[in-house]
Chains A and B, each alone.
Chain A
Amino acid sequence: MRRGRLPPGVVNVISSERAQAPGVVEGLRTRAEALQAGDPRDPRTQIGPLADPAAPARVRELLEDTRNRGASVAVGGTNDTTFGLSAGILTSDYDQGLAIAASLNTGMAHVNDQPVNDEPYVPFGGMGDSGYGRFGGTASIHEFTELRWTTVQRQPREFHLRTAHPARQRRQHMSYITAPEASQLTTGTRDQLELFAAAHGHFSALRAVVVRFPAALGALDNQYSLIMGRGRLDRWVREAVFAACSAERGNAYLAGAMAAEAVRHGADPDWVNGLLTQDSNPVGAGEAVGALIKFAGKMAREPYKSVEADVSALHAAGWANEDLVELLSVISLSAYMDTLSLSLRIGPQAAPQPAN
């Protein structure tokens, strides 16, 4: 029962089979007649005056028009307007209420509630002549911004691995198990994927498949940020070690991704590229880093062949046991990710599918 002051108060729909029953109509009439009209300064007043002298005539005209149309409350007539801000649907059947809400051409619809609702975080706005967008919460961000896809290609896309492993030919194939559709993911999981994409400039095909086991996605993200984000070794060294290990195992996808990360964190692009594309001297970044790369390459392939001389070489290059164990955690993380990626042939093609 509004006097037109609030735009969302223009549409009310009464639904359900019982809506046409005499009791419902009588009840509404009794309730309306009992409303106290009068001076708005009087606290007993429930209905104040209309806006101006012309308003009563306009209201009478609308009422007459409604009676001429049979005073129907059918939904079919509700969309017969160029306006569509908000609707309230009163019903004893929630499913039917939602079905009617879906059929209405309004920007907002409230089942078993009045049409006038607003919260700062909701997408407030109407359809047709009742609106020009949505405001509130993330809707405001979407209204005032445009999505952009930005990439920075810092080095050649194709890495010719030292070992001519069949994995390289397999890159054109689909992964054995694909990423679930985005619409199947929980909001939290989708946020995790998008956070990674925002930080790295691209979606992670591996994570997009790991979401099938959400506990593992959290575990992977945590261990990645701990091992790659903290520690004594320079970040570019850790990324380069990871890339070298993945290349050693024939995983072009992760080798390429980590090589790009190494460059992003300060590694020399030519050195990283040489590390992956040919039998270049890993010592190009210095004797000490070269010793790390050599050790990592062997441990990526055959950790069970580790001997005292391998560790001695690291010590001789100036690395402490703390550095050695940190290095092993990077090699182990790469083993973890390579095992999953290679066994399912996950590559860039496994990116998440858009929601329908």
Chain B
Amino acid sequence: MALIDYPDLDRIDAKNREAIERFAREHGRPTLLRMMLAYSPPAQEAMNDLYHPVVQNGRLSRRLKESLLVASSEARECRYCAGGHSLFLVNEFGYDQDAVRQMRSGGENDGWTAAETALVRVIRTAASDPQSVTQEDIDGLRATGWSDDEIVEGLIMASHSAWTTTVAQALRLEDDLGTPEFSGYF
């Protein structure tokens, strides 16, 4: 069980409820993270700004960004976040589960270019231990063709992951993944 009770969703404001229901409508499953954020309307609203604008805009593809989020969440050992973004890859981008499992275990993906593989490696490092990223890592990404703007965009995914995994892990949301609604999680 999560470390605190979920709020009574019948007693939260309409805007808060819409954020939770919208996720369920779009993805066919509940969002434990957003349910907990209902305790703090400003945090719920911040979450809206955190995900959609950066995933839907920019130079990197949404497919690559979701891959970076899976890799970052796994590097931070958050099963709840890694599982959620894994489902995006499977349901929306046609990945098979084995390929995503391989990615989560630190392996490479056959569909990635050399540049994408290099980017995933550095973002994984940034997510788990940002201080261990080196100038050589950044220069290596430049050498594979990434611009500074694109590298910053990739690192934003690691930052995003740091945000969500902190809440999910601190409240131990992954303890509630055993219910039938999450049977598709892996």
A contacts, CB < 8 Å to B: 165-167, 176-177, 209-210, 212-216, 218-219, 222-223, 226-227, 229-231, 250, 299, 303-304, 306-308, 310-311, 321-322, 324-326, 328-329, 331-333, 335-344
Contacts and interface: CB of A to CB of B under 8 A. Distances in A.
Given A303-B169, A326-B42, A226 B49 contact: yes
A213 B153 CA distance: 6
A73 B86 CA distance: 71
Contacts of A226: 42-43, 45-46, 49
A339 B40 contact: no
A222 B49 contact: yes
Contacts of A231: 40, 42
B14 interface: no
Indicate the member of B54, B151, B162 with the most A CB atoms within 10 Å: B162
Indicate the member of B36, B56, B171 with the most A CB atoms within 10 Å: B171
B39 A339 contact: no
Given A213-B58, A216-B153, A306-B172, A165 B131 contact: yes
A216 B164 contact: no
A177 B54 contact: no
B158 A339 contact: yes
Contacts of A177: 138, 148, 151-152
Contacts of B39: 321-322, 324-326
Interface residues of B, number: 50
A295 to B, nearest CB: 9
B4 A324 contact: yes
B159 to A, nearest CB: 4
B57 interface: yes
A321 B166 contact: no
B77 A304 contact: yes
Contact of B43 (A222, A326, A340): A326
19 contacts: A176-B133, A177-B152, A210-B156, A212-B148, A212-B149, A216-B54, A218-B53, A219-B53, A227-B42, A231-B42, A304-B76, A322-B40, A331-B166, A331-B170, A339-B159, A340-B130, A340-B155, A340-B159, A342-B133
A219 B156 CA distance: 11
Interface in B84-127: 125-127
Contact of B163 (A229, A304, A335): A335
B145 interface: no
B20 interface: no
Contact of B165 (A210, A212, A216, A303): A303
A219 B54 contact: yes
Contacts of A230: 42
Contacts of B131: 165-167, 250, 342-343
A166 to B, nearest CB: 7
A294 to B, nearest CB: 13
Interface string B165-181: 11101111000000000
A176 B163 contact: no
10 smallest CB-CB distances across A and B, nearest first, come from A329-B43, A342-B130, A223-B46, A215-B57, A343-B130, A325-B39, A335-B162, A303-B169, A343-B126, A222-B49
Given A166-B131, A177-B148, A336-B163, A326 B40 contact: yes
Contact of B152 (A166, A213, A328): A213
A329 B167 CA distance: 7
B21 to A, nearest CB: 19
B143 interface: no
